[in-house]
């Protein structure tokens, strides 16, 4: 599964004839200096399989370097020994308008990460909203236009969706995940554009894996996003949807070849970054990337 080639396979760009517009983002990342798989809290984690921490760091560095090359602003939280999943910063909170709603992890192995991220938010000038309900941050909460899509089924509880709405005063649309391989919402939906279309009509600004959701959620997604990219199971299974987009460049797994072609057809610029070693912990590009919306 692992490869020594960590350089992006596609060149990032900042302008496009397709009319897609890049938006500069602010991200929080955490270097995987202590990455290993020593417990199992998702189907991807097999402690018996060896992990290569040095390779994980090199692959992570390629992702970091890609963001910098694109002009994005990347902040770092210090890794903590004994918390190998801290590299998956997307799970550490959800940030809109300088307000950080903290994470409250389901599994005991990750519980100490919550306070560490909350301390970082406070120390860096964010207004902090302490969580009461179990939630795993941007792993299960995705901002699409002025709407928050919120996942439940495996990690974040439905009650956290209500709490989320109270904190941010935005519409929260609950979606239920049913396939344990796709235990967070950001493994089954990719937000491609951050804005709504004219008059508030939502554009084709997401991609998703239909069969990761129950029938009710599938119907909601089909109604709200009729022109969304529907990704094949083969691309979902390699965490192709666990991606990051700036509205033009979409950083994805090099193994998600079908999704890559779909993105090109829609005028996006796929940028291929291999995080195969970090997938051993059940995380990919988006998992390693928390957006800091000021």
Element spanning 216, H or E: helix 215-224
End-to-end CA distance of the chain: 37
Tokens standing for residue 288: 């390693």
Give Cα separations from 239 to 163, 170, 274, 281 (angstroms). Answer: 28, 28, 11, 12
- Is 184 one of the annotated active-site residues of the chain? yes
| From 30, 72, 161, 184, active-site residue | 184
Distance CA 42, CA 109 (A): 12
- Is 161 one of the annotated active-site residues of the chain? no
| From 30, 72, 287, 288, active-site residue | 287
Nearest Cα to Cα of residue 291 among 8, 25, 10, 4: 25
Distance CA 152, CA 93 (A): 15
Distance CA 195, CA 231 (A): 21
Distance CA 160, CA 135 (A): 6
Distance CA 74, CA 288 (A): 12
3-state SS of 109-161 is HHCCHHHHHHHHHHHCCCEEECCCCCECHHHCEEEECCEEEEEECCCCCHHHH
- Are the CB atoms for 90 and 290 separated by under 8 Å? yes
In 10 A of CB 108, how many CB atoms? 9
- Are the CB atoms for 153 and 125 separated by under 8 Å? no
Residue 27 CB burial class (10 angstroms; 0-12, 13-18, ≥19) = buried
* Active-site amino acid positions: 184, 287
């Amino acid at each position: 599964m692992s490869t020594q080639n960590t350089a992006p396979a596609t060149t990032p760009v900042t302008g496009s004839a397709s009319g897609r517009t890049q938006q500069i983002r602010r991200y929080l990342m955490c270097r995987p200096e202590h990455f290993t798989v020593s417990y199992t809290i998702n189907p991807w984690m097999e402690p018996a399989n060896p992990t290569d921490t040095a390779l994980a760091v090199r692959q992570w560095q390629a992702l970091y370097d890609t963001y910098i090359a694109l002009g994005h602003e990347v902040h770092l939280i210090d890794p903590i020994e004994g918390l190998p999943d801290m590299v998956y910063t997307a799970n550490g909170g959800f940030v809109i308008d300088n307000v950080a709603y903290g994470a409250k992890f389901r599994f005991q192995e990750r519980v100490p990460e919550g306070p560490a991220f909350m301390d970082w938010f406070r120390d860096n000038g964010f207004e902090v909203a302490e969580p009461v309900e179990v939630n795993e941050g941007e792993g299960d909460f995705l901002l699409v236009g002025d709407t928050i899509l919120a996942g439940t089924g495996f990690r974040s509880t439905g009650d956290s969706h209500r709490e989320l709405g109270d904190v941010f005063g935005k519409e929260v649309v609950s979606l239920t995940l049913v396939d344990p391989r796709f235990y967070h919402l950001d493994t089954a939906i990719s937000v491609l554009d951050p804005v709504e279309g004219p008059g508030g009509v939502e554009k084709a600004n997401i991609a998703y894996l239909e069969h990761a959701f129950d029938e009710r959620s599938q119907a909601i997604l089909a109604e709200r996003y009729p022109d969304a990219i529907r990704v094949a199971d083969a691309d979902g299974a390699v965490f192709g949807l666990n991606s990051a987009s700036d509205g033009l460049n979409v950083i994805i797994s090099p193994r998600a070849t079908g999704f890559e072609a779909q993105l090109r057809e829609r005028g996006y610029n796929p940028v291929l970054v291999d995080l195969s070693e970090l997938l051993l912990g059940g995380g990919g590009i988006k998992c390693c990337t928390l957006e800091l919306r000021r």
